[in-house]
Amino acid sequence: MKKYVRFRDAGGDCYGLVNGDAVQRLSGNCPDSFAPTGESLSLPDLTLLPPCSPGKIIGTGLNYRDVALAPDESLPEKPKLFLKPPSTLVLSGQDVVQPPMVRELSCEVELGVVIGRQGKCIPRSEAFEHVWGYLVANDMTASDLQREDVLWGRAKSFDTFLPVSDCIVSGLDPRALALRSRINGRPAQNGSTRDLLRDIPWLISYISHVMTLLPGDLIITGTPSGYGKRVNAGDLMEMEIDGVGRLQNRVVSWEGPYYF
């Protein structure tokens, strides 16, 4: 298993391979182009960035078989796809900002899949060849705007609405990973990726038939039962996936001018 971080220093934005508290600087910007530089850095001294730099973030809705449905609801044959802009990304420890436009804010723990190799119309049997690794994601949603708009573009896309863990973790089996979330220390969600309706190879293949997947692109794979827990300014959210990592972020209110 390998862990990759992305960081900024005088040389610009770089990737590194983590070994304890040391980071081996890498040249290149994706697994196929990485090469060791021979330079070792101290992890605590680095200014970390979100570990991938996606051109696009693809979300999947209603992709767990254990979700609680209303009496007139049913799970879709195919997960709902939506996009989040890269400006939603923040790291663990950074704040999630709730703007005045959002009255009902909710959080969801999700497994993120980072693409490492370009692909279009990828066969399911070859999907894992295009995976760089995995991270923990917290898919924030303005639930009130989601109901108001029907489309999810506004509700999912505010700045800071996708906290992610610090590392891309490669070389693990994603088929039965435990996911947990807590709000102010109280359990909110507890699930497993074994309950995915459509597994990671299916998602990669399906999405790649819609859009070309590029190195650094991020797929968030859905959330288990208990999703949609409401949070407010001051609340602390904690997300954890076994073997992948954990993150925590606090909700704060927007400060500054606002015209809507």
pLDDT of residue 74: 76
What is the average pLDDT across 105-127? 98
Per-residue pLDDT tens for 233-244? 999 999 999 999
pLDDT of residue 67: 75
Domains of the chain: 2-49 (2.30.30.370), 57-253 (3.90.850.10)
pLDDT of residue 228: 85
Per-residue pLDDT tens for 42-84? 999 999 999 999 999 999 998 998 877 667 777 788 889 999 9
Can you say how many angstroms the Cα of residue 26 is from the centroid of all Cα atoms in its chain?
23
Say what percent of the chain tops pLDDT 70: 99
Cα–Cα distance measured from residue 53 to residue 30, given in angstroms and rounded to the nearest whole number: 10
pLDDT of residue 241: 98
Mean pLDDT, the chain, integer:
95
Cα–Cα distance measured from residue 60 to residue 63, given in angstroms and rounded to the nearest whole number: 7
Is 221:111 a contact under the CB 8 Å cutoff? yes
Residue 197: pLDDT band with limits 50, 70, 90: very high
pTM passes above 0.75:
yes
Torsion of CA 16, 166, 153, 150, to 10 degrees: 140
pLDDT of residue 70: 66
pLDDT of residue 86: 98
Per-residue pLDDT tens for 240-259? 999 999 999 999 999 999 99
Cα–Cα distance measured from residue 127 to residue 199, given in angstroms and rounded to the nearest whole number: 11
Is 54:216 a contact under the CB 8 Å cutoff? yes
pLDDT of residue 66: 82
